Structure 1
């Protein structure tokens, strides 16, 4: 049986896609948690802090939307769509890593650890390894 038809592959993908749901909800609930998690400094001024918290909440919404999209594709059984969503998620982790370098000078592996996982799951679902 080709790897793209293995029954465990969509389930592994939804575990990978489910993590951003939890992170996104937590970021929307407590933006400072996200700053601390990623090693970003909290801004000093009240207006800067408000803006930073709002931007972190936007990222939480992005993560939640990604995770829910993966959940919808998994639930509908659409392996192709789920595969593409995994690839998009990998792209997000690459950009997030570069953003971390730009902001803190490091911390990339907090993001890039997930890149090969998403590429492998997405490629597997799309039949790249058949």
Structure 2
């Protein structure tokens, strides 16, 4: 009986090294990606402050989305009440004017519901850079709403107060924090 050496017990590494089997490339790539994953995990765990900030930043848009959806539903169901968020304006008494304002409030409600749902969708699918850009777009919506109130005579601070918060949170998410 011939003697069995160590090289006979495990010939696979030599075959992989020599390229004896062409189907081994995916296996090698898998091992390489596991090593990269281990390195990334160590790097991520060393930055606990960044991780804590990320959790907060990724939760805030869910609150923003709920607020947008709430305002949108309010505008669809109670247009005259939703109009009170634009202080100088009130619901007109003429039937044709009232119908026009209610139609515009429907557009406003649909816009807000869309903004909230888009935040939820990006958050659900964990696409945080896209979520950041959606939150930045939400700050643009708040700025324009405030500008409309400013041009009409007041109430702009109600809208401009939260626009910078959206901008900061959205920018940090878009940058990858």
- Please give the TM-score of this superposition, normalised by the length of structure 1: 0.90
Give the direction of change, closer, same or farther, for the CA distance of 1:13–1:81 in structure 2 (3 Å limit). same
1:97 aligned onto 2:146:
yes
Match of 1:6 among 54, 69, 82: 54
For the 8 Å contact 1:4–1:124, the answer to whether it is kept is no
Task: Mark the runs of 5 or more structure 2 residues left unpaired by the alignment.
Answer: 1-46
Indicate conservation of the 8 Å contact 1:5/1:125, yes or no: no
Aligned length: 128
- Structure 2 residue 167 is the aligned partner of structure 1 residue 119: yes
Shift of 1:36: 2.1
Structure with bigger gyration radius: 2
Matching residue of 2:103: 54
SS, match of residue 47 in structure 1 = helix
Q: Is residue 78 of structure 2 the alignment partner of residue 30 of structure 1?
A: yes
Determine if contact 1:3/1:124 at 8 Å carries over to the other structure. no
- Relative contact order: is structure 1 or structure 2 higher (C-alpha 8 Å, sep ≥ 6)? 1
Cα deviation, 1:55-89, whole Å, max 9, x if unaligned, reads 01110000000000000001101100100001000
Output the TM-score relative to the length of structure 2.
0.68
The structural deviation recorded for 1:5 is 6.5
